[in-house]
Amino acid sequence: MAYDYDLFVIGAGSGGLAASKRAASYGAKVAIAEYDLVGGTCVIRGCVPKKLMVYASQFSHLYKDAEGYGWSPVESQFDWKYLVKAVDTEVRRLSQLHISFLEKAGVELIEGYAKFVDPHTLEVGDRKVTADKILIAVGGHATKPDIPGAEHLVTSREMFLLPEQPKRMAVWGGGYIGVEFACIMNGLGSEITQIIRRDLILRGFDDDLRSTIQESMANRGIQFRLNSTIDKVEKVDEGLKLILNGEEDEPLIVDAVLCATGRDPNLAELLLENAGVELKEKAIAVTLDSRTTQPHIFAVGDCTDRMNLTPVAIAEGRALADTEFGHKPHSITHENIATAVFSQPEAATVGMTEAEAREKFGDAVQCYRARFRSLFNSLAGGDERVLVKLIVESNTDRVLGAHMVGKDAAELIQGIAIAVNMGATKKDFDDTMGIHPTSGEEFVTLR
């Protein structure tokens, strides 16, 4: 049977863009459908705009730190509307850039939401197309719990376009999105209360990293309501009244509430049942090579809920294109993938946490850690601590994990991730000369 396209991609986010351009480079006829701005979560309402806001929020701390180095006090006013407009302008510029990349690659962009008619046929608006192979790369979306007053909650999607900066804000959720936005808004001058269901933020990360960040956030003025959740949101004259349930249940009055309690794959409108594509819980079930229950239909990125990171989606998309169109079959591993939390202070990690290592290797695990005040703070006057930590399996001396909290943690861990993935040992670290004076040298001087 002759098809309209060799590959049809649903979703122009990181994974879909990478797969479509790579497949087209091998001579495949490719089209990609997108109903929103091209670029996906990362470019439009995730990594990129969030990192720009992180940069903006850091200046308030730098102005104060500069006084310890002889600079006169800075009296500056922050303009929320200016930042929102500047970030949106940059996001739209990047979206247009991605469209131009598709054009140069020879990929046809079709505006609209694609839905399955049958395993090889899709409907986009009033148009029907057929494809030999189909890739689902639709990403995910922030969800809201079903509580009274949920309509008053905002998610990470709306945070970038709030018309006014809230003076008092609650952040509901202790994951990386909630932590990052709590730090951003705190740095921009809002009064922040973070409501978490447990006693520590960032479940799943190393406990030393979690406690170090939470302590620093508290020292920067962020309030925490621990082991608590929101039962109800009421609109009152003073703002929004939060009815809490848990360890700290005193009602809270704020101007806005960011709900960062979870995300789900964007599958509701795809009509996957028409294609015979099965789910695993709320995500698309896939094999290691990203194949669904239909052998010619694939899925990558957040809609598979494997590891929801932009570089992972890109790698999955390229591996698919290499395998199916470039005659270079391979898949990616989801082990030892470095990741960062752009909190203040920043954190980054690669490999196993201490708890994961001890569960697998028991008493053979040795941990090397250091907590110290950075040289920068010796004059700035801050008490914020840097954490560096290595997890080692003593029988082989192999480094199983590396964790850091502190300035430029993500930049440092990116390099260390290469060593961890190559199987570096603690002796390899010890035999490496440090660069003095830096925080990074602590990784090669831990004893």
Catalytic residue among 152, 296, 327, 436: 436
Angle at 58 between CA 57 and CA 62, to 5 degrees: 135
Which of 433, 318, 299, 309 has the alpha carbon at shortest distance from 10? 299
Rounded to the nearest 10°, the torsion over CA 14, 308, 281, 283 is 0
Task: Establish whether 152 is a catalytic residue.
Answer: no
Strand partners, 299: 136
Token digits of residue 41: 């979560």
**Do 265 and 281 contact (CB within 8 A), yes or no?**
no
Q: Are 295 and 212 in contact (CB under 8 A)?
A: no
User: What gap in Å lies between CA 26 and CA 381, rounded to an integer?
Assistant: 57
Please report, for residues 35, 78, 291, 369, 432, the alpha-carbon distance to residue 115 in angstroms, rounded to integers and kept in the order given.
12, 44, 18, 51, 54
Respond yes or no on whether the N-terminal peptide bond of residue 145 is cis (omega within 30° of 0): no
Q: DSSP of 251-265, one letter per residue?
A: -EEESEEEE-S-EEE
Cβ count within 10 A of residue 131: 23
Catalytic residues, by residue number, are 436
